[in-house]
Amino acid sequence: GAGVSQSPRYKVAKRGQDVALRCDPISGHVSLFWYQQALGQGPEFLTYFQNEAQLDKSGLPSDRFFAERPEGSVSTLKIQRTQQEDSAVYLCASSLGTDRNTIYFGEGSWLTVV
Amino acid sequence: KQEVTQIPAALSVPEGENLVLNCSFTDSAIYNLQWFRQDPGKGLTSLLLIQSSQREQTSGRLNASLDKSSGRSTLYIAASQPGDSATYLCAATNQAGTALIFGKGTTLSVSS
């Protein structure tokens, strides 16, 4: 596709529910990132993939958060047993190579936990 | 731990004014520094990227500078327009290149 695509755009989950957020990066992009952005804050790093390898997951806030990219393209961020503090926008980004250059962001998945 | 701070948090200017947005970071061991724009309800758009070995980058009316030794970057916007109204985010890339560390942003409003 022309850009990074994320789905769903909006998700309301009841506390305790599991959610899965999908990211379709730009075709051919090797690097994929997930960020969490709370209202009024800058994005905070969650995890980084290079192809299918998850090279950095230091930003995942708890073991309820899990991300995968099994075939090196589409990625899924899963949040188990959601809590109210998980309410945020989850942003996915991709870049062509591993040379830490221009990063392209999707429009985000807005998660509200009630 | 890298911390990125942006000042001011919000800025309102009349159309046509030149302005400067400030960004500071605590750890000078960065791979690069990037400036992004975020419109309400949207994702981030990359504006300028400065490699750690560079001092500045320019794109149209935008100029970004980087001073690693002092841990500072500035984004200069010339002849501001109402369409420039958005939140501007500064982000430092860690040396491993695996993460961007963002500031909280400066929300700019340009009135016509």
Per-residue pLDDT tens over the stretch B55-101? 999 999 999 999 999 999 999 999 999 999 999 999 998 877 788 99
Residue B31 sits at the vertex; the CA angle it makes with B36 and A43, to the nearest 5 degrees, is 35
pLDDT (tens digit per residue) in B27-63: 988 888 999 999 988 889 999 999 889 999 999 999 9
User: Which chain A residues are within 8 Å of B102, Cβ to Cβ?
Assistant: 35, 42-44
A45 shares contact with chain B (CB less than 8 Å): yes
pLDDT (tens digit per residue) in A56-73: 999 999 999 999 999 999
Confidence of residue B3 (pLDDT cuts 50, 70, 90): very high
- For residue B29, give Cα distances in angstroms to A47, A57, B51, B68, B96: 20, 20, 12, 8, 10
Q: Is the pLDDT of residue A35 over 80?
A: yes
Residue A25 preceded by cis peptide, ω within 30? no
Where b means 16+ CB within 10 Å and e means fewer, B49-83 reads bbebeeeebeeeebbbbbebeebebbbebeebeee
Confidence of residue A99 (pLDDT cuts 50, 70, 90): low
Confidence of residue A2 (pLDDT cuts 50, 70, 90): confident
CB contact under 8 A, B31 and A104: no
**What mean pLDDT is predicted for residues A39-66?**
94
CA distance A91 to A103: 12
Contact present, A20 and A92 (Cβ < 8 Å): no
Q: Is A86 helix (H, G, I), strand (E, B) or coil?
A: helix
How large is the C-alpha radius of gyration of chain B? 13
CB contact under 8 A, B45 and A105: yes
Q: Is the pLDDT of residue A77 over 60?
A: yes
A25 shares contact with chain B (CB less than 8 Å): no
Q: Residue A26 has what DSSP assignment?
A: P
CA distance B7 to B21: 7
The tokens of A67 are what? Answer: 């991300």
**Strands A44-50 vs B44-51: parallel, antiparallel or unpaired:** unpaired
User: Which chain B residues are within 8 Å of A103, Cβ to Cβ?
Assistant: 34, 46, 100
CB contact under 8 A, A33 and B44: no
**What mean pLDDT is predicted for residues A26-44?**
94
